[in-house]
Amino acid sequence: MAYQQIIAEVKDQIFYITINREQKLNALNKEVLTELADAIAFASKSEEVRGVLITGAGEKAFVAGADISEFQNYSLAEGKELARSGHQNVFDAIENCPKPVVAAINGFALGGGLELAMACHIRVASDNAKLGLPEVTLGLIPGYGGTQRLTQLVGKGRAIEMITTADMITAEKAYRTGLVNEVVPQVELIAKAEEILNKIKTRAPLAIASAIKAVNASLKENINGFEVEIEEFANCFQTEDFKEGVTAFLEKRKAIFKGR
């Protein structure tokens, strides 16, 4: 797929997205966000994609933040539009993607980079990774969902501490607090992310999409997550994957799911 700021390709049903601004530590700018939005929209709809792996180019950074020079002179209205469009087109789109999205955090994940990782469903970090939300050092707060997702992942106290001190934490501390799922040596990072996605690929795709939707509902205001779970559970009964899963179980063989 032809992009200027990211590299995107499908291999063995995994959609690999690499933010390709290594000289800028893969900082997010308008072009990166536009291309990410397009790539995630493709992944959500494509039948050839069963999972998404997002990482950064090089060994120093996943994403070291946003490109501050782009918005240093923004007005109140422009700031609101920057955050709103980022939420809707990229970060919320990743969170609500029906395919599992794994962030492979290779190095620094700061500001918008950590927010990008937190929007993903699963996070794997290299053991040299550093994570943080330094926005208050610029007179800002996280604007791409960081205040909400960090609180959901690590709790109110730790979230307020990380945001208000602007301190970076190690990958190991991120693991202990629940911010990342796994920590591995950097040379094993992509392989570990692939291992997780390859296991998920053997499960029923429509059931996975329903599970993601139901889990996300537990965190949304004015939505009864239990009711969403009931609806999605019921929807599974009308799929061919359900019939195949039950038949394979009874026949004591491995199920072959087709996502129908």
Tell me the per-residue pLDDT of 93-125, one tens digit each, with 9 for 90 and over.
Answer: 999 999 999 999 999 999 999 999 999 999 999
* CA pair distance 34, 54, nearest whole angstrom: 15
Phi, psi torsion values for 21, nearest 5 degrees: -130, 55
Whether 135 is catalytic: yes
The tokens for 216 are 């996300």
6 pairs with which residues across the strands?
19
Which of 135, 182, 194, 232 is catalytic? The answer is 135
- Give the CA radius of gyration of the chain: 19
258 Rama sector, left if φ>0, alpha if ψ -120 to 50, beta otherwise: alpha
Residue pLDDT tens, the chain, 260 long = 689 999 999 999 999 999 999 999 999 999 999 999 999 999 999 999 999 999 999 999 999 998 777 777 888 998 888 889 889 999 999 999 999 999 999 999 999 999 999 999 999 999 999 999 999 999 999 999 999 999 999 999 999 999 999 999 999 999 999 999 999 999 999 999 999 999 999 999 999 999 999 999 999 888 999 999 999 999 999 999 999 999 999 999 999 998 88
Contact indicator for 24, 67 with CB cutoff of 8 Å: yes
Contact indicator for 56, 107 with CB cutoff of 8 Å: yes
Contact indicator for 201, 13 with CB cutoff of 8 Å: yes
DSSP letter string, 154-187: H-HHHHHHHHHH---EEHHHHHHTTS-SEEE-GG
Which of 35, 95, 115, 194 is catalytic? The answer is 115
Whether 229 is catalytic: no
